[in-house]
């Protein structure tokens, strides 16, 4: 059975849009580097609002740093458009949701032993995408989407499956996508260098941070210490 071609589905959808009356898109962003390519790609077709909602980022200092980079990138893109350096691009708005890491930890606490890329990650996808869809409905947007699929480490099939489910459940159209296609990830890396963006080396959650520590040589003790610190902070274990 052939896998769905989400990039082709997106191509067909974009071809049918009226560029003189661009629809509104609520775009969840996981971080500035991943969003760099996606925003640049979509801003000629949609009136974009970037929704920065990432309770999976367990440490507040890390969260604040990434949120600031997101806003800095959008400001740079809008300034370029205002100067005529991005013909056809519409201005991009940004909304930062409340920072509530306990929401993520409470949701995933029973999945601590799951490997990266498994069921715990799927819960995280849906947590962020659901809030994005709700925000899209609240603001009267036509579509919602996420930048998550630009990463080679993220499961595009699962992301689109969740998006389609939320479309039916909440009555807001999902934008089919697999942004890693057409060298999307490579372009995001190049854009990160051009704009001097901070590129993190883990997704942001306590579990991926622990995995990073283990790979760096901290072993099981380093991994366990990282998880214990994160869970103790929010008193969920």
Strand partners, 92: none
Average pLDDT over residues 39-44: 98
What is the distance between the alpha carbons of residues 136 and 133, in angstroms, rounded to a whole number?
5
Token pair belonging to 146: 């996420």
The total number of structural domains in the chain stands at 1
What CATH number is attached to the domain comprising 185? 3.40.50.620
Average pLDDT, the chain: 89
Question: Is 187 contained in some domain?
Answer: yes
Q: What confidence score (pLDDT) does residue 171 get?
A: 98
User: Where is average pLDDT lowest: 57-61, 142-146, 182-186?
Assistant: 57-61
Q: What confidence score (pLDDT) does residue 1 get?
A: 64
Q: Is residue 13 predicted with pLDDT exceeding 60?
A: yes
Q: Render pLDDT for 18-41 as a digit per residue (tens, 0 to 9).
A: 888 999 999 999 999 999 999 999
Question: Is 235 contained in some domain?
Answer: no
* Domain span holding position 174: 6-201
Question: Is 103 contained in some domain?
Answer: yes
Q: What confidence score (pLDDT) does residue 217 get?
A: 66
Q: What is the pTM of this model?
A: 0.89
Question: Is 226 contained in some domain?
Answer: no
Q: What confidence score (pLDDT) does residue 3 get?
A: 87
Question: Is 38 contained in some domain?
Answer: yes
Please state the length of the chain. 237
Question: Is 229 contained in some domain?
Answer: no
């Amino acid at each position: 059975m052939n896998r769905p071609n989400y990039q082709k589905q997106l191509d067909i959808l974009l071809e049918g849009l009226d560029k003189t009356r661009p629809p509104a898109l609520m775009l969840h962003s996981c971080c500035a580097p991943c969003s760099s390519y996606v925003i640049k790609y979509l801003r000629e077709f949609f009136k974009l609002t970037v929704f920065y909602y990432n309770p999976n980022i367990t440490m507040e200092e890390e969260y604040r740093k990434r949120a600031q980079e997101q806003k800095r990138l959008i400001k740079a893109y809008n300034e370029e458009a205002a100067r005529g350096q991005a013909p056809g691009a519409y201005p991009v708005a940004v909304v930062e949701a409340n920072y509530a890491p306990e929401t993520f930890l409470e949701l995933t606490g029973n999945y601590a032993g799951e490997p990266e890329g498994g069921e715990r990650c799927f819960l995280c996808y849906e947590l962020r995408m659901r809030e994005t869809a709700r925000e899209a409905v609240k603001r009267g947007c036509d579509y919602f989407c996420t930048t998550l699929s630009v990463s080679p480490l993220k499961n595009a099939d699962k992301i689109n499956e969740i998006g389609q489910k939320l479309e039916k459940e909440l009555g807001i159209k999902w934008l089919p996508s697999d942004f890693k296609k057409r060298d999307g990830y490579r372009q995001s890396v190049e854009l990160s260098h051009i704009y001097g963006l901070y590129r993190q080396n883990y997704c942001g959650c306590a579990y991926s941070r622990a995995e990073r520590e283990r790979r760096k040589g901290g072993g099981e003790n380093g991994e366990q210490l990282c998880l214990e610190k994160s869970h103790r902070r929010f008193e969920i274990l």
